[in-house]
Amino acid sequence: MLFNSFDFCFIFFPLVTALYFLLPHRFRWAMLLAASCWFYMAFVPVYILILGFTIAVDYAAGILIERSQGSVRKRWLIASIVANVGVLAFFKYFNFLNQSIAALVQGMGIAYTVPDLGILLPIGLSFHTFQSLSYTIEVYRGHQKAERRPGIFALYVMFYPQLVAGPIERPGNLLRQLNERHVWDHARVVHGLQQMLWGFFKKLVIADRCAVIVDQVYGDPSAYDGLGTLLATYLFALQIYCDFSGYTDIALGAARVMGFDLMVNFRTPYRSASISEFWSRWHISLSSWFRDYVYIPLGGNRVVRWRWFMNLMIVFLLSGLWHGANWTYVAWGGLHGLYLVLAIVVAGAMVWFDGITGLVRQPRLRRALAILVTLHLVVFGWVFFRADNFAEAGEVITSWTRIDGSMRGLIALAREIGAGIVATTLAFALVFIALDPWADAIAKGERSIAWRPARFAYFGALLAACLIFGNYGAAMFIYFQF
C-alpha cells in the first residue's frame, strides 16, 4: 500500500491508529502485526512468504546464537547471513548476474542459454533483509537479547511505517519500543501528523512534479541540449531527496503518532561540506549499517592506508549494489568511494590551499564553497543513479559540454510538458530549497512556530498546496524498488 494512496490516508492509517489506542496494551502488537501484513500484501500478496521465511530463520537464529558458545555461535550467525543474503541474491541479483555473465560469455563468442527468472522483485526486500540481519548480528555481539516471542520479532521486521523503505531500524531502538506501553499524547500526535504532512508535501508537490521533467528528459536525453539535461539532473537531485526523505517523514510521523521514535534518516544532506559529511546526513540508517557491520569489521581506518582505501571502496561498491542490480548503481557507489579516497589523499593539499587563499580566516566562506563543491560532486553522481545505462549517462554528461547559452532545450521542454507546469515546478523547487532547513526542523519537532495562528496557517497552506499542486499521477516511491 502506498502512503500517498486514498486507501492509506483515509482508511488504513486512521483505522490502525484508532485501534492502536482503543485496544488494551496486550493486544496492540497483534493488531499492528496484522495491519503490517495487510499493508505489505497490498503489493504482491504471495511475497509475504519470503518475509515469513526471513522472520522464521532469524527468530530461530537469534535464540540459537544466544544459547550457543564459541564457534557454534558463529556458525548460526553465518547460517542466518547466508539465508538472508541468499534470498536477496536470488530475487534481486540472479537476473543481473545472469545477464552480466551472458554479456561476457557471448562477447567471447560462446553460446549462453541460461534464461532469466521471470519474477518481480519483492518490494522493500533490501530494507527488511538488512533490518533482520542487524538483529542476529547484535545478538551475536551480545548487544541484544534474543527475542522469545515470535510475534514481537515478526513485528520488529514488519512494522508497517518502515517496512518497505526504511529507516533500517536496529533492535536496540525498535524492539525495545515494541514492548513499551504508549498512551495518547496530544503534542506527540500533532507533531507526528505535522511530520507526515511535510512528507506528503515533499513527495507530492516537489518530488513528483520534478519527476515529470526528469522523466521527460532522461527518457530521451539526445532530444535536449546541455541546459535541459543539466536542469533535469539538478531536479533529479531534488526529486530523489524529496521522494525518499518525504517517505521517511511520513514513516516517522505515522510511527510517532502511535508513540514510536524511529531513526532519523536525513539531516538536510545537500548542505554538507564534504562527501563524508554527506553520508552522515543522507540515508543515515543505511550508511550507519554499512559502517557498523561492514566497514568497522573490515578494520575501518585503523589499518594501513591502502587497506583503509580498499575498505572504503568495498563499502561503497556494496552500497551501490544494495541500491540496485545494475552496473550504473555500482558505478555510483564506486564514484562516492573514490570521492572519499581522493578527499583523504588531497587533505594536506587542501590545508595548504586554504592557507594561501586566506580561506582559513574565512570559515563561513570556506564552508559555503565546500558545500557548493560537495553538492556538485553528489549531483554528478546522481547521473549514474538515474540513467538506465552507461550510454545514457554518457549522453547526459557530454551534452553539458555543448551548453551554448541558447534556451532550445528549455523551450522544447516547456512545449512538451507545458510552460505552466515547468514554471510552477521550478518555483516550488526554489521555495523548497530556501525553506527546507527551517521546515525540516519544524517537521522533526526540533523547533516550532510559536504564534498559534501562524502555525495553523502554515500547516493549512501546506495541506492546500498538496491538494492543488500535488502530482497525483505518479505513484511509487523511488526507494521501494530497492
* Contact positions vs other proteins (CB under 8 A): 6, 184, 186, 189-190, 418-421, 423-424, 456-457, 459-461, 463-464, 466-473
Among candidates 71, 27, 50, 250, which has minimal Cα distance to 132? Answer: 50
DSSP state of 292: I
Q: Cα separation of 133 and 144, whole Å? A: 13
Question: By C-beta, is 208 or 243 nearer to other proteins?
Answer: 208
In the complex with other proteins, the residue whose CB is nearer, 62 or 470, is 470
Which residue, 407 or 419, has its beta carbon nearer to other proteins? 419
Contacts of 438 (CB under 8 A, 6+ apart): 447
Q: Distance (Å, rounded) from C-alpha 375 to C-alpha 378?
A: 5
Least distance from other proteins to the Cβ atom of residue 409, Å:
20
* Minimum distance from residue 461 beta carbon to other proteins (Å): 5
What's the angle, vertex CA 211, arms to CA 206 and CA 212, rounded to 5? 110
Cβ 243 to other proteins shortest distance, Å: 18
Measured between alpha carbons, how far is 13 from 19 in angstroms, rounded to an integer?
Answer: 10
Concerning whether 336 is annotated as a catalytic residue, the answer is no
Which among 82, 83, 61 has a CA at the least distance from the CA of 138?
Answer: 61
Rounded CA-CA distance 40/478 in Å is 17
Q: How far is the CB of 244 from other proteins (least distance, A)?
A: 22
Q: Measured between alpha carbons, how far is 293 from 288 in angstroms, rounded to an integer?
A: 8
Comparing CB distances to other proteins, the nearer of 163 and 254 is 254
Taking residue 385's Cβ as centre, other Cβ atoms within 10 Å add up to 22
CA distances from 411 to 17, 273, 425 (A): 48, 34, 15
Exactly one of 128, 283, 323, 336 is catalytic; name it. Answer: 323
Q: Which is nearer to other proteins, 36 or 471 (CB)?
A: 471
Nearest distance in Å: CB 32, other proteins: 21
Q: Among all residues, which ones are annotated catalytic?
A: 323
